[in-house]
A and B are shown apart, each in its own frame.
Chain A
Amino acid sequence: MERTENNNNSNRLSDGLIRQNIVLMSGIAIAPVAVVATNFMNALALTSGFTVIAFLSVFACYFIPRKLSYTIRVIIYALIAGASVIPAYLMVGYFYGGEMLETLGVYLPILAVNPLILTKTETRFRLRKPHLMLLELSGYVTGFNVICMGVGIIRDILTNRQIGSLPVDLGFEIPAVNATFGGLIMVGILGGIFRWQYNQAKLRKIAKLEKEIEMQKLLENL
């Protein structure tokens, strides 16, 4: 019983982290990653901001009564998310400085109109109990954060030959990956590789299950 519950919980977490990753699988938060995550520090600041906005807004939106019509609910969700940009803005300014806020530019406030908050809250998070909602949301947020950090680190290595302040010299540079088109192409390639790996893992799992069933049948026959 306990094991099944643990499995369910890990499924809920991995759903947002892998199966429905909001950057590489469903593609609903591509812009900030493609444009702003150009180095380790930018990616770190962006993930911090996103974590604050997502948790505050989804948690607050969870308590909006269902009696209100969907049209009104969407507006309230957007306004709550807009308000949750304020603590995120202050936090990024405090920890990373005013220059970082300028670097992030419009990409921090536009996270407020992210479909994760406006759509998934309605179709998914609201339907769960509070602790399960937080668990699933953690999966989605971690999924975004991992990919954003990954993209930031790859770009930092390819353009600045470092990760943060740690030198990593590959012997060549590709400065164009810092441009918007570089980000789009990189996220596209990573998306393809991620899906390919996911499909391979799924096929391996199916093959393993089939083998287990065959073994069981063989044992029964014996």
Chain B
Amino acid sequence: MAALTEAEVVDLAASSVRDLNQALHAPQPAVSWGVLNPRGAHSVACGLKDEVTVDIAGHVGYYCAGMNQHATVTVHGNAGVGVAENMMSGTVRVRGDASQSAGATAHGGLLVIEGNAAARCGISMKGVDIVVGGNVGHMSAFMGQAGRLVVCGDAGDALGDSLYEARIYVKGTVKSLGADCVEKEMRDEHLTELAELLKAAEFDEDPADFRRYGSARQLYHFKVDNSTAY
């Protein structure tokens, strides 16, 4: 471990995830890190709280960059369940595809998935911005409370089910909308914020090609007349 505090490259073929995370959590960690041979390990680079950059060379398992604060984490591969779950700030980028529940409950920061994201992308999102280069699976943005979800490909079934105030932009098709999620007018301010999100994600898409979806706010209160809507 002593060598790790001085080195910026950690080889998970030789070190444990515990060693890596402990070093990243140490007071005043090095600002730039490389992680080799992640081999689908879980909880890689989770709980970071400093402005560090972590480049992971390969695929990761569950909860990579979970609860991230301030750090910039890039996965040069695919990510398992719950990448950047409950992120507070910073940036997490997945060069490949992400499994289900990407960005779940995240409060802030930017999550970019260059490939596809599986089911429940952005579930219960609470302020995070998520930009997906490909498609998202069913129940994405389920119960999304705040933040923006941008999908450059297609969206699966029940998009935005039981949505609160999160905003959704989709370029491709939407297989179906979830309860209380409706298409909304794309006004200038939405085109502007979408352009900013695409730029931040480093995507070249044209905001004019997207449609906007949000909550109809009809299920915000329990009413007997809504009993068949759920």
Are both chains from one complex? no
Interface residues of A (CB under 8 A from B): none
Interface residues of B (CB under 8 A from A): none
